[in-house]
Amino acid sequence: MNRRETMDKHLLFQMNWSLVFLTFVLFFIGIVNLYSAGALLAEEGMNIRNFYQKQLLWGCAGFILMLVAMFFDYRHLRNITLFLYIFAIILLILVLLV
């Protein structure tokens, strides 16, 4: 077994599963909240399906990004830390200007 497979299995055992579960619970509470808030809008003839689609789309995108961040070895960023720092400062300056 190579080092990469060992790291992946170790990560799965060390992952905080209660945090992942609570994240999904909060996501589904948000879906239920949209359902209850959208009931009044649906009575007025408004299409609330777009709200659900957006919530599900961004929830799935967030979950995929969470998985990528979990399995990404952050030590690879050491070589470009100066560039990332300067880029972040430029973005902060742009926020002031825009």
Give the pLDDT confidence score for residue 25 in this predicted structure.
92
Cα 16 from Cα 70, distance rounded (Å): 11
Q: What is the mean pLDDT of residues 68-86?
A: 87
Q: Give dist(CA 52, CA 36) in Å, integer.
A: 12
pLDDT of residue 84: 93
Confidence of residue 87 (pLDDT cuts 50, 70, 90): very high
Residue 9 three-state SS: helix
Return phi, psi of residue 16, to 5°: -85, 90
pLDDT tens across 11-60, in order?
Answer: 677 778 888 899 889 998 988 888 777 777 767 777 767 777 888 889 88
Give the pLDDT of residue 35: 78
